Each structure stands twice: as structure tokens, then as C-alpha cells.
Amino acid sequence: MGLKNTEYDFGIIAYDKRISFKISGDKLEKDKETKPFSKNYTLQKNPFLKIKDSYYTKTSDRAKEGAELAKVENSLAVNITKPKDFSINTYTSDNKYFYYTTHDKIVKLDDNLKEIKSSDYKNNLYSNQMVASNDSLYILDNHIIYKYSKALDFIEEIHPSSFDKAASYTNMAYSKGKLYISQNLKGKSSNGQYEESNTIIVYDIETKEENIIELDYPYPMQIYADEVNDNLIIQHYELYVPEDVWTVYSLKDGSQHQIELGKYRLADEELSAPFFTQKDGFYYFLMSDSILEVSGKDMKEKSYSFKDFDISYPNVLLIGK
């Protein structure tokens, strides 16, 4: 069970409660609160996918082995499903169906997480990231991109010429006919250490044309596409980037803006990427004791503190209607 009233501005799933807020002026006003759905489960922050009016993610139970899937309602109710193949590598949605990979399968589920179809995964290896275009699925396996139809038929292997065999590629996003792939690390230097990378590879699906985006900060990880403002939002690995920044890259003019999350962190906080979501061209970061809202149009920041509401380990943020 979740909240009876879903007319909120922010809904938070935390370790110790589920709580909703309305915005009053520049502050949060508590709306409704209920018990946690479970203190054992951890909901994965990324990807956190929307299909119709619900949200989907991979989860794990501290008391059990293997991954499960969670369907999160606007009411903050959480439904857990154990798939047949629970060693899930990566997953995505096309706003209608849910897809995931294991080491040897691709599986398609409906919005109730019931299996529709599965097929053999060609590479039989660990897949890093899967994204969906209008008619296809793309699976990044470090140095190869595998293209499948949404009926789970294999179409082709893509070998971008911009890929360096010595480098690491683990994260990818799709937007308006292009794939954006983060090069996390270059090859090893003369002292045997991996070198930092500032590079995003751009691959045009139709023309096969490739381009390079050079970022001001290194170690790009997760990439999110904002099609309202034509931006990319890029996480930099916070353990290697002391400034603890995310980059907003404009696909219109190539300008870069850094969101400095460090100033919204608690003192001596253990660093990890915050839960991120976006809606209508605004970006939202769920910090330990606040919600940071950033406008994708003019980069104005607004922080909403919930330190007075005694919330422990906030995990998931839903944006109200």
C-alpha cells in the first residue's frame, strides 16, 4: 500500500518512511507520510524508468541472493517481482515495454513485469548499458554495440571507429537518432595506470557519422538526454573528481555548465552519485537532506531542505503532476 493522496510536488521513498511534500513558497510542507515498504530492499538509482504512469528499476534484498524488479506507483506503493533470470545486467524501456539482459538472454516484459518473450543474447558476455530508440534496442558491450529489434531479433554489430580498444566504455544514452557513449578511461600510461578521459563519442544511427565531444571535466559516467532543452546531463565519477560536478552540455551551441553538488553535501558524507530524475526540462537531484532543482534552460538552482523532517537515507524521488 502507498499514499492515498498522490497530488504532491515531491514524493520520497526512504529507508525509514515514504513521504510526500508540497511546495509552500520556497520551502517544503509535509503532505502525507506512511511506513517504509521494506527496510531490506535497495532500489537501484539508475536507470529509473517510466512506463505509462509507473516507474521501474532493479532492486536487491539484503536477505536474498540475486536481483529482483520493482514497480513503483505514484502513490509510492512498491511491487516486487522476481524474474526467471535474476542475474540482470542492464535494462531499459521504450515507455511501453521493459527490456533487460542477462549474460546470455534478452527478455521483454509488459508493464506488469510479465514476460512476453526472450531470446539468446549474441555476445554471451556482460552488457554495460541498453537503450531504446523508436524501433530498436542498442546494447553497449564495452567496445561493441549490438542492435536488436524490439521483437528481440538480432540485426547487426556496430563497431564505432572512434572507439579505442584500450579505453573503457560503460555508459550510453539515446536522443534524436544519435547514441552518446562515455569514454570513462583511456588506455594505460607508461607507468601502468589508466589515464583519465574527457570524451563522449557521438554515433549517428542513420548516417553512421561519428563525432567527439570533449568535456571540461574527466571521468564521464552516466549520460541523460534532455530533449526539451536539447542538453546532455553527464555524471562525472565523484570519487575521482574532487569538485563533485555534473556537466550540462548544450547540443545547440556546445557550451558547458557545471552543477557543483559538493555544496549540497553533508560534511564528511560518503560520496556516491545521487538519485537523478528530470521532468519538463528541469533536473532534480535527491541529496541526503535536500532536493536540488536545476532549470535546464537557464541553469538556475533551487534547493529544498528536508532536514527538519527526520528522513533517513532517501533513496528515490518522484516528481508530482
Q: Which of 7-11, 13-17, 123-127, 148-152 has the lowest mean pLDDT?
A: 123-127
Q: Summarize the confidence of residues 53-79 as an average pLDDT.
A: 86
Count of other CB atoms within 10 angstroms of residue 280:
9
C-alpha dihedral, 318 to 4 to 16 to 62, nearest 10°:
-80
Which DSSP category does 261 fall into? G
Q: State percent of the chain over pLDDT 70.
A: 96
- Cβ atoms of 241 and 217 within 8 Å: the answer is yes
Name the pLDDT band for 318 (thresholds 50, 70, 90). Answer: very high
Per the confidence metrics, is the pTM higher than 0.75? yes
The whole-number average pLDDT for the span 48-63 is: 86
Cell triple for 149: 529489434
Q: If pLDDT is split at 50, 70 and 90, which confidence band does 63 have?
A: low
87 versus 90: the higher-pLDDT residue is 90
Residues 6+ apart with CB under 8 A from 242: none
Instruction: Indicate whether 190 pLDDT > 80.
Output: no
What pLDDT, in 10s, does the model give residues 15-25?
A: 999 999 999 98
